[in-house]
């Protein structure tokens, strides 16, 4: 896997270099701006009435919250129902365990090649890389995933993985990497090239691997949302289908599915419903002419159970992976997905990645937010992303042993703590505060503009001037009551 | 949202940014309210709502400073705040900050009395203003915390619509953040710059001579950017503008 930042030491440095690189790349800036504008408009069209959206959002929130509150029993019910119908269920605490489970299934079936439907959870596992180390070819079949796999990249968006590329870049890539493709910028022709190349892979694959959008506990049903039909091929053509899910994907009954599906498709791409919606209930039964002979469901924890233990932070697990928060984020739409150096970029990534992989190890991505709240506003299941960001900032400097957040307290540094202590002293004392703010004119002249915190401010902004008289003084002079 | 009836007196929480950098906005807001026959009480011991520390994760420090404010506003009367982000801190985030605090109930009482300036003018005072100024074209920057935390959508525009010589030209991406975000603007200057540059481009495109906002954080950021780029357009707090227009320059 190409990693231009591998020589840098700290995760923070990697993150900074990553976003600086994006910000200095006009092509990338343009691609993200156009794509996020398009996705935002499509969502807007799908939810024309704000009040109706809020009602549906509330319903989505309640459904997922209810499922989350009952997570343990629901997962056990799901396992039992699946097993009754011949779906083999596997539990993985870590991504290593999940990879091992997938590998064993592949090896038992003498698999040389695997086709994959789009799945973020397998990105969490770095499954493709792992399989290739074990001499199993893993081919992405979602068009966006296929494009980035050709270019040895990772997804830059959770539903539109190749969003960072425009038509011309894709045309060039196909021309360079696919034999006999030629150069074309016509969408239909580009699609046809990918389809032709992938079709052969579908026929010869030994195992199909997909993610899971929802798993229904009551019926043991694996639900897969997709637009290209590749997910259906991955789950029906090869003799073995492995579905991998994060443990938060389970919902109680089929009845809860329609509102969530409506929210997911509309929030993601503005579609009333996705082009394909697959409900997988069992392997091929006797007398049936198609479908896999084996269906496996791998349920992955990967620190989700740790996130689950905190009643506020567990709302991170409500996510249905629509990507709306990315499209509406003023930071993501400027720096793009790769800059974060995380599997999950954007607002959801800023709260999920630090909890999965550690506040320090993820480079402080949770700090890179202006807290504008656009993410929380559009989230179809009302995840309070800004509040969780604030909580993680607190956990970053919280050294208490009672904190359950991975790498809590690691963001505290002496200089910053002292600065806030100093700030506290001044603002908790009316006398000190008044002395300080009464020094307006003096502070204007002595505050260094090109050093300290003002340096970053003054590089592209004028430094604000302290007023000659504070509001405290003006209010006194005008005789405003002080009680 | 529920708003109180027009009271005889109110508290005014000026915010630290207004106190130090935009006192004119604070005094304009006070005078606009006084003109409507409402007594304004400005407790002189007030400092800051605690938001900078809270947003940076320093909750203990934020708590100490917040408690210092809360005790200064004991009467059961509205507390008017001329900043949506400080308002949101005190109205909503105090409930998180003091979630496990023994005094949570009295803090809730304080939080419930917080009302943002434009909402107070429109919904409580039901103010009617007369425009005494020359024709002017301006644009409005909607602060994120006004939109998404204080649920302020139309109020500032409703106030501006009362002024007959004022033409409001809306921004193309009115609901997008200007890139301030408090310490974010210092900790991530490059990202903040990219956001601010786009905002300034949008503001410039309107051709207006003035950009108004209801939050001095945004204003400081936008004005700083405008001045740095040597733009002629000025930034102003809504309160200063309304007072100027309805009362002549004070």
Domain boundaries, chain A: 50-146+202-302, 414-477
Nearest residue on chain A to B95, alpha-carbon basis = A387
Q: What is the rounded distance in angstroms from the CA atom of residue A65 to the CA atom of residue A383?
A: 10
The answer to whether the CB atoms of A369 and B21 lie below 8 A apart is no
Here the tokens at position B57 are: 């994760």
Q: Does A424 touch chain B (CB under 8 A)?
A: yes
Here the tokens at position A443 are: 């502070």
Q: What is the pLDDT of residue A342?
A: 97
Q: What is the pLDDT of residue A436?
A: 77
Is the ipTM value over 0.85, yes or no? yes
Compare CB distances from A462 to B55, B190, B228 and report the shortest one's residue.
Answer: B228
Nearest to A295 by CA among A276, A277, A278: A278
Nearest to B163 by CA among B130, B208, B196, B194: B130
Q: What is the pLDDT of residue A448?
A: 66
- Residues 6 or more apart whose CB falls under 8 angstroms from that of A104 comprise none
Looking at beta carbons, which residues of chain B come within 8 Å of A325? none
Calculate how close chain A gets to B236, using CA atoms only, in Å. 13
Q: What is the rounded distance in angstroms from the CA atom of residue A281 to the CA atom of residue A222?
A: 7
> Would you say how long chain B is, in residues?
250
Provide the 8-state DSSP code for A239.
Answer: S
**Mutation for testing the B interface, residue in A33, A364, A460 having most B CBs under 10 Å:** A460
The answer to whether the CB atoms of A440 and B177 lie below 8 A apart is no
Specify whether the CB–CB gap between B241 and B173 falls below 8 A.
Answer: no
Looking at beta carbons, which residues of chain B come within 8 Å of A335? 191, 194
Here the tokens at position A465 are: 């001037």
Q: What is the rounded distance in angstroms from the CA atom of residue A16 to the CA atom of residue A25?
A: 14
Q: What is the rounded distance in angstroms from the CA atom of residue A187 to the CA atom of residue B42?
A: 64
- Tokens 């389970």 -> residue: A250
Q: What is the pLDDT of residue A1?
A: 43
Q: What is the rounded distance in angstroms from the CA atom of residue A359 to the CA atom of residue B141?
A: 34
Q: What is the rounded distance in angstroms from the CA atom of residue B114 to the CA atom of residue B49?
A: 12
Nearest residue on chain A to B145, alpha-carbon basis = A372
Here the tokens at position A11 are: 């995760």
Gap between the terminal Cα atoms of chain A: 66
Specify whether the CB–CB gap between B184 and A368 falls below 8 A.
Answer: yes
The answer to whether the CB atoms of B21 and A467 lie below 8 A apart is yes
CB pairs under 8 A between A and B: 202
Outline where chain B has alpha helix (H). 16-20, 23-35, 51-55, 59-70, 84-88, 94-97, 104-112, 117-119, 144-148, 155-161, 184-187, 189-206, 216-228, 238-247
- Count CA atoms closer than 13 A to A162's CA, side-chain side: 22
Here the tokens at position A267 are: 């929030």
Name residues 53-82 of chain B within 8 A of A (Cβ).
Answer: 53-59, 61, 64-65, 68, 75
The answer to whether the CB atoms of B57 and A396 lie below 8 A apart is yes
Specify whether the CB–CB gap between A340 and A353 falls below 8 A.
Answer: yes
Distances (CA, A) of A142 to A28, A99, A118, A264: 22, 21, 6, 18
The answer to whether the CB atoms of B61 and A370 lie below 8 A apart is no
Q: Characterize A436-445 residue by residue with b for buried, 16 or more Cβ atoms within 10 angstroms of its Cβ, and e for exposed.
A: bbbebeeeee
pLDDT in tens, chain A (483 residues): 445 545 557 999 999 999 999 999 999 999 999 999 999 999 999 999 999 999 999 999 999 999 999 999 999 999 999 999 999 999 999 999 999 999 999 999 999 999 999 999 999 999 999 999 999 999 999 999 999 999 999 999 999 999 999 999 999 999 999 999 999 999 999 999 999 999 999 999 999 999 999 999 999 999 999 999 999 999 999 999 999 999 999 999 999 999 999 999 999 999 999 999 999 999 999 999 999 999 999 999 999 999 999 999 999 999 999 999 999 999 999 999 999 999 999 999 999 999 999 999 999 999 999 999 999 999 999 999 999 999 999 999 999 999 999 999 999 989 999 999 999 999 999 999 988 776 666 667 766 666 677 788 888 999 998 999 999 999 999 999 998
Q: In what order do the strands lie in the sheet with B114-116?
A: B39-41, B9-12, B79-81, B114-116
Nearest to A367 by CA among A404, A416, A323: A416
CA A162 to centroid of chain Cα atoms: 14
Gap between the terminal Cα atoms of chain B: 34
Looking at beta carbons, which residues of chain B come within 8 Å of A466? 20-21
Q: What is the pLDDT of residue B250?
A: 40
Looking at beta carbons, which residues of chain A come within 8 Å of B12? 480
Q: Where are the beta strands (DSSP E) in A2-154?
A: 87-92, 113-116, 137-140
- Tokens 């009115």 -> residue: B174
Specify whether the CB–CB gap between B96 and B9 falls below 8 A.
Answer: no
Q: What is the pLDDT of residue B71?
A: 96
Every domain of chain B and the residues it spans: 9-124, 136-246
Q: What is the rounded distance in angstroms from the CA atom of residue B123 to the CA atom of residue B141?
A: 21
The answer to whether the CB atoms of B26 and A471 lie below 8 A apart is yes
Nearest residue on chain B to A392, alpha-carbon basis = B57
Q: What is the pLDDT of residue B129?
A: 95
Q: What is the pLDDT of residue A2?
A: 46
Nearest residue on chain A to B97, alpha-carbon basis = A391
Q: Does B21 touch chain A (CB under 8 A)?
A: yes
- Tokens 């103010």 -> residue: B127
Task: Provide the pairing of β-strand A113-116 with A207-210.
Answer: parallel
Domain B136-246 class, CATH top level: alpha beta
- Tokens 């004070």 -> residue: B250
pLDDT in tens, chain B (250 residues): 889 999 999 999 999 999 999 999 999 999 999 999 999 999 999 999 999 999 999 999 999 999 999 999 999 999 999 999 999 999 999 999 999 999 999 999 999 999 999 999 999 999 999 999 999 999 999 999 999 999 999 999 999 999 999 999 999 999 999 999 999 999 999 999 999 999 999 999 999 999 999 999 999 999 999 999 999 999 999 999 999 999 854 4
Cα angle for residues B98, B102, B103 (degrees, 5° grid): 70
Compare CB distances from B14 to A19, A374, A471 and report the shortest one's residue.
Answer: A471
The answer to whether the CB atoms of B224 and A464 lie below 8 A apart is yes
Q: What are phi and psi of A395, to 5 degrees?
A: -65, -30
Q: What is the pLDDT of residue A434?
A: 83
The answer to whether the CB atoms of A462 and B224 lie below 8 A apart is yes
The answer to whether the CB atoms of B19 and A335 lie below 8 A apart is no
Q: What is the pTM of this model?
A: 0.96
Q: What is the rounded distance in angstroms from the CA atom of residue B79 to the CA atom of residue A381?
A: 33
A50-146+202-302 fold: Rossmann fold (3.40.50)
Q: What is the rounded distance in angstroms from the CA atom of residue B147 to the CA atom of residue A279?
A: 40
Name residues 35-54 of chain A within 8 A of B (Cβ).
Answer: none
**Mutation for testing the B interface, residue in A310, A365, A366, A370 having most B CBs under 10 Å:** A370
Nearest to A443 by CA among B86, B19, B142, B246: B19
- Tokens 């539903």 -> residue: A159
Looking at beta carbons, which residues of chain A come within 8 Å of B174? none
Q: What is the rounded distance in angstroms from the CA atom of residue A172 to the CA atom of residue A181?
A: 10
Compare CB distances from B59 to A373, A394, A426 and report the shortest one's residue.
Answer: A394
CA B212 to centroid of chain Cα atoms: 11
Here the tokens at position A98 are: 């999940």
Name residues 160-219 of chain B within 8 A of A (Cβ).
Answer: 175-177, 179-182, 184-197
């Amino acid at each position: 896997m190409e990693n231009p930042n591998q020589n840098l030491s700290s995760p923070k440095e990697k993150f900074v270099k990553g976003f600086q690189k994006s910000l200095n790349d006009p092509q990338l800036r343009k691609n993200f701006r156009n794509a996020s504008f398009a996705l935002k408009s499509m969502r807007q069209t799908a939810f024309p009435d704000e009040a109706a959206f809020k009602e549906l959002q509330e319903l989505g929130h309640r459904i997922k919250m209810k499922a989350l509150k009952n997570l343990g029993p629901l997962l056990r019910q799901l396992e039992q129902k699946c097993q009754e119908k011949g779906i083999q269920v596997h539990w993985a605490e870590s991504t290593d365990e999940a990879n091992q489970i997938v590998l064993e299934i592949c090896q038992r079936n003498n698999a040389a090649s695997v086709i994959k439907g789009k799945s973020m959870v397998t990105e969490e596992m770095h499954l493709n890389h792992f399989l290739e180390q074990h001499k199993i070819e893993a081919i992405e079949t979602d068009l966006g995933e296929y494009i980035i796999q050709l270019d040895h990249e990772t997804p830059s968006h959770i539903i539109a993985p190749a969003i960072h590329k425009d038509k011309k870049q894709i045309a060039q890539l196909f021309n360079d990497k696919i034999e006999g493709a030629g150069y074309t910028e016509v969408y239909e022709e580009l699609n046809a090239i990918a389809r032709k190349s992938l079709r052969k892979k579908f026929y010869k694959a030994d195992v199909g691997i997909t993610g899971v959008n929802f798993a229904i506990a009551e019926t043991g049903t694996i639900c897969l949302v997709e637009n290209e039909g590749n997910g259906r091929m991955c789950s029906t053509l090869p003799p073995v289908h492995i579905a991998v899910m994060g443990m938060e994907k389970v919902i109680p009954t089929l009845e809860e599915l329609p509102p969530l599906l409506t929210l997911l498709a509309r929030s993601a791409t503005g579609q009333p419903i996705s082009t394909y919606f697959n409900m997988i209930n069992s392997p091929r039964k006797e007398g049936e002419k198609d479908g896999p002979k084996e269906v496996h469901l791998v349920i992955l924890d990967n620190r989700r159970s740790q996130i689950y233990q905190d009643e506020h932070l567990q709302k991170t697990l409500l996510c249905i992976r629509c990507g709306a928060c990315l499209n509406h984020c003023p930071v993501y739409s400027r720096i793009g997905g790769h800059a974060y150096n995380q599997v999950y970029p954007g607002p959801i990534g800023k709260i999920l990645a630090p909890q999965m992989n550690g506040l320090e190890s993820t480079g402080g991505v949770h700090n890179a937010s202006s807290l504008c709240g656009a993410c929380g506003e559009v989230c179809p299941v009302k995840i309070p992303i800004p509040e969780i960001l604030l909580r993680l900032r607190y956990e970053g400097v919280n050294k208490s042993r009672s904190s359950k957040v991975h790498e809590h307290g690691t963001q505290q540094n002496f200089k910053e703590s002292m600065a806030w202590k100093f700030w506290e002293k001044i603002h908790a004392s009316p006398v000190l505060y008044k002395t300080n703010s009464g020094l307006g004119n003096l502070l204007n002249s002595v505050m260094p503009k090109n050093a300290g915190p003002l340096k970053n401010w003054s590089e592209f902004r004028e430094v604000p001037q302290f007023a000659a008289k504070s509001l405290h003084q003006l209010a006194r002079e005008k005789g405003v009551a002080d009680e | 949202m529920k708003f109180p009836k027009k009271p005889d007196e109110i508290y005014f929480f000026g915010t630290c940014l207004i106190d130090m950098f935009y006192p004119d906005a604070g005094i304009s807001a006070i005078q606009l309210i006084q003109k409507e026959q409402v007594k304004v009480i400005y407790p002189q011991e007030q400092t800051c709502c605690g938001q900078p520390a809270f947003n940076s994760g320093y909750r203990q420090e934020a708590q100490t400073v917040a408690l210092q404010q809360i005790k200064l506003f004991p009467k059961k009367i509205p507390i008017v705040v001329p900043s949506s982000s400080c308002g949101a801190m005190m109205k909503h985030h105090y409930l998180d900050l003091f979630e496990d605090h023994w005094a949570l109930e009295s803090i809730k009482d304080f939080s419930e009395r917080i009302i943002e300036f434009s909402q107070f003018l429109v919904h409580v005072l039901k103010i009617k203003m007369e425009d005494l100024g020359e024709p002017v074209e301006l644009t409005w920057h909607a602060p994120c915390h006004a939109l998404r935390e204080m649920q302020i959508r139309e109020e500032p525009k409703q106030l501006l619509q009362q002024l007959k010589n004022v033409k409001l030209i809306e921004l193309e991406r009115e609901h997008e953040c200007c890139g301030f975000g408090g310490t974010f603007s210092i900790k991530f200057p490059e990202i903040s710059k990219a956001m601010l540059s786009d905002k300034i481009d949008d503001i410039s495109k309107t051709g207006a001579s003035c950009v108004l906002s209801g939050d001095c954080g945004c204003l400081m950021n936008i004005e700083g950017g405008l001045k740095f780029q040597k733009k002629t357009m000025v930034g102003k707090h809504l309160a200063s503008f309304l007072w100027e227009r309805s009362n002549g320059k004070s």
